[in-house]
Structure 1
């Protein structure tokens, strides 16, 4: 039975948990205050830095920051660091009334679409507390990539919906969430009429029929197809992508809203998968930079975003003996060396590679899930690995300027708009990956200051040094369901000025 998306998701999930896993009830209850603070901190960051139309002005004081709302009310909280990852907000005051529950604060704000967003926030708090409950204490260092990804418990470092999983019961979260360390049994759906790009393997065929791996949540809630028994795989941090025990990764369709997006696989992504993968393989062979791209091995769809899958290489293939391939999102959750010197070297590596690609005409969405780093046996950052090419951007004009053949692509992936290209990279890499790895404006500024003067001088680097930093306005997007596409905010540039 599924709980309805209500602001009292904490109690509803507790009721489910008492049946599904009663041994976790006490740890779940103990984790709730910390989960509320984690989501409230992310929400406060959004209210301070995103262009909310109902915030008239923001006023900095000695004791914190006050948002003057358009209706005359005031919302007061602590000074906000746009790159902080620690949970430092335990309470916000709306006209003097304290709020420690993010969903109840949003309901009290009574802004457009507040009720739906409040339900998502309540779900995020409850799911985050469940994710934190019962986490094992272990000194064992992960060996495989999927083990690293299981260490990422809190989800998106800046999105208030960091763990929102509406439509997932407590039992389903425990069965499918990577932080709960399950094995997930994928099913197989046979299709006679299937679009396939790349090489679809024989072990995923039944004669002339294509066998499409499907997620069990999809089977239970979306698909109305006969499903064959499949195989077990380890879920990765995106939930819908899973690692087979022998290496390859399978990206499944999962028609549920997680954080911001519904996680299906568009027919467009399948159509372009092989072309984009081959193009990026050519680009990386041409470049003299320490970057690997995980190849897309095959992609298939039964002409539906609800019934599709992508098979790609495991990033683990790009580690030499003694090296480790670690998703960047896992860096802040481990005891790996992260001194200021280490952070500067990682920043140098990431900016060098990604700015070089951008100059040539490819903007990576290099957030902590897509970007991985190869570490030496001593923990030094050596090379980058990038996976999931579905949302990169490619500039034909920039490619042509460098004499690079333009791939046969159309649609959303292709653009020559400089603002779009820079937003794609800077928002994910600096505002996401580097900011979250640093954990504060001060640490990010120190790392970037140490390396930017040594980078090749390009117009993109100039923009990075002189302009506010673009980032997706993730909360405003959830409060603006009538607005298609991305909405952007501007963060204080750590190279220019301190945060509010």
Structure 2
């Protein structure tokens, strides 16, 4: 889609998409307030089918289901003079500001603007999608399905810079990359980058260097001199469009047969998305170190796959351009999935639109979930959870298995048969279990977590960010229709606070009971390490505090955690925060 068409639909879409954007914005911020503000202060409680909370002195309520995922089943309201009135996102922002500032967390004059820009971005994305055609490739369609963004982020679609819509995956964007040539005496590279050479032919004495067109716009001033003196050459556009994936800056380049992870000097949600010099080297280092790990995981857990990042290229023109022009080569999922297996982004499987999966999810998956949700869920847990836990306990490796870093391989019948792990920026080595002393200090620091921090990251990504969202979606899709399904445990857990449907709530509890059984077996295989035994005993889970991080204007790596109820506990099956 051209920039002109995108701009036209961005301008004209507010009237038809503004309501959806408002509701998505309100829902995300309200979840954050429950989890990070009202919940920890004991200001959340059930009231019939509603979840009720007090924020900055006001009483709010909303019908919810989905347990830990906190899905909103109706409009949020506020109590005023004995009457329940509609709650708006703007009013909720003011309440959150008052609560946070009044609790000693300081002030943040940027916060309301970030939430407003995120709401505007969602409206623009919805307008652009209405006139765009999604990719025919089911994997790429799933990558472009995350219109509402992170469900527990106060500004899930906040992003900096101008002209972002033409590059947005959620708008079904596709665009040609620009192809530079870097003179060989100023080339920076590591590992195997042969996939890049499929994109064209470099002039003698030069090496090809693909670039994201948006990044070139952002770096125009810094690039002027090296383009003028010949250290860089602009070879024009790469034939054929590249397709952005869910992270915005990583694209699938058909000509290379690979994914390319670029730097973008803009803030997207919490971070400025650039490849720091130590991350370029770290990707190659981790690929070499993790190759035997994933071979062992695939042998122990058939269906385990990963997307290696074998090399990077850039231009040695100072730190700013080394990082700004740095591109990491990543394998594409179709190259690693088995015959007849379709990779789909886990985030797309977690997201519902009006109680339904988007067109990015194959029809066979919908049918499989509704036919036997417990079987589908058990297969899902078996593919995703054991490799992550085994990597941590047996190998001392943290896999950042959140919803955007895992692809699920589906067979022709829609059942999960593979799990594909990606993005080595989030993968870490547990300090003390790997020798990193020979690496440069910043590279070693970027590659390691201490054991406690690593375990928190594993538990948050696997259970809170990932499995809780998938479980809520499965229960919503299959719950009411599955109330009389043979073998169901019945509605013994139904009627919990905020349950939209007793059958949905009962199914959610059953799903978590099955997950607990599978993880219990895995714990036995490892001799029941204390951290895993505590998890199964129901200790609270760590949930990333995105609201507090944005309020403090802190770096994402410094984000803290808040405790939330553990749905693996028999006492709190499927509990909400």
**For this structure pair, what is the TM-score category when the shorter chain's length is used for normalisation?**
0.7 to 0.9
1:456 is aligned to 2:522: yes
For residues 176-232 of structure 1, the C-alpha deviation after alignment (integer angstroms, 9 at most, x for no partner) is 111222222222344443431112334575544444322222222334314441323
1:77 is aligned to 2:61: yes
Residue 315 (structure 1) shift: 0.9
* Secondary structure of residue in 1 paired with 2:377: helix
1:244 aligns with one of 246, 253, 266: 253
1:341 is aligned to 2:369: no
Residue 286 (structure 1) shift: 2.3
Residue 414 (structure 1) shift: 1.4
Residue 107 (structure 1) shift: 3.6
Residue 154 (structure 1) shift: 2.4
For residues 338-392 of structure 1, the C-alpha deviation after alignment (integer angstroms, 9 at most, x for no partner) is 3232122201221111111111211111111110111111111111111111111
2:347 aligns with one of 306, 323, 329: 329
Aligned residue in 2 for 1:499: 576
Change (3 A) 1:196 1:64: same
Residue 322 (structure 1) shift: 2.1
Q: What TM-score do you get using the length of structure 1 for normalisation?
A: 0.84
Change (3 A) 1:151 1:46: closer
1:356 aligns with one of 369, 390, 403: 390
Quote the Cα distance in structure 2 between the aligned partners of 1:139 and 1:223: 31
Compare the two structures and name the one with the higher helix fraction. 2
For residues 13-72 of structure 1, the C-alpha deviation after alignment (integer angstroms, 9 at most, x for no partner) is xxxx9996445655442221122111211111111111589x854142525422254xxx
Say whether the 8 Å CA contact 1:40–1:89 is kept in structure 2. Answer: no
Q: Considering only CA atoms, is the larger Rg found in Structure 1 or Structure 2?
A: 2
Change (3 A) 1:56 1:25: same
2:188 aligns with one of 195, 200, 223: 195
1:49 is aligned to 2:35: yes
How many residue pairs match? The answer is: 472
Quote the Cα distance in structure 1 between the aligned partners of 2:390 and 2:159: 37
Residue 493 (structure 1) shift: 0.6
Change (3 A) 1:85 1:166: farther
* Secondary structure of residue in 2 paired with 1:65: strand
Change (3 A) 1:327 1:189: same
For residues 240-299 of structure 1, the C-alpha deviation after alignment (integer angstroms, 9 at most, x for no partner) is 011012420011101111111111111111111111011111111123223112121311
Aligned residue in 2 for 1:93: 78
Change (3 A) 1:397 1:154: same
Worse overlay, 347-356 or 113-122: 113-122
Quote the Cα distance in structure 2 between the aligned partners of 1:407 and 1:39: 47
Gapped regions of structure 1 (runs ≥ 5): 1-16
Residue 331 (structure 1) shift: 1.5
Quote the Cα distance in structure 1 between the aligned partners of 2:387 and 2:5: 50
Residue 490 (structure 1) shift: 1.7
Worse overlay, 366-375 or 155-164: 155-164
The equivalences for 1:4-15 within 5 A come to: none
Q: What TM-score do you get using the length of structure 2 for normalisation?
A: 0.74
1:473 is aligned to 2:545: yes
Say whether the 8 Å CA contact 1:49–1:82 is kept in structure 2. Answer: no
Residue 492 (structure 1) shift: 1.1
Gapped regions of structure 2 (runs ≥ 5): 228-233, 351-357, 476-504
Say whether the 8 Å CA contact 2:63–2:76 is kept in structure 1. Answer: no
Aligned residue in 1 for 2:489: none
Say whether the 8 Å CA contact 1:270–1:301 is kept in structure 2. Answer: no
* Secondary structure of residue in 1 paired with 2:388: helix
1:320 is aligned to 2:317: no
Aligned residue in 2 for 1:271: 281
For residues 102-158 of structure 1, the C-alpha deviation after alignment (integer angstroms, 9 at most, x for no partner) is 245324534344431211111111111222235459999953522331233322233
The equivalences for 1:102-113 within 5 A come to: 102-107=89-94, 109-110=97-98, 111=101, 112-113=106-107
Quote the Cα distance in structure 2 between the aligned partners of 1:273 and 1:140: 31
Say whether the 8 Å CA contact 2:344–2:408 is kept in structure 1. Answer: yes
Aligned residue in 1 for 2:419: 384
Aligned residue in 2 for 1:14: none
Say whether the 8 Å CA contact 1:39–1:161 is kept in structure 2. Answer: yes
1:66 is aligned to 2:60: no
Change (3 A) 1:444 1:363: farther
Say whether the 8 Å CA contact 1:131–1:154 is kept in structure 2. Answer: no
Aligned residue in 1 for 2:559: 486
For residues 68-106 of structure 1, the C-alpha deviation after alignment (integer angstroms, 9 at most, x for no partner) is 54xxx2352326666336444644538779674424532
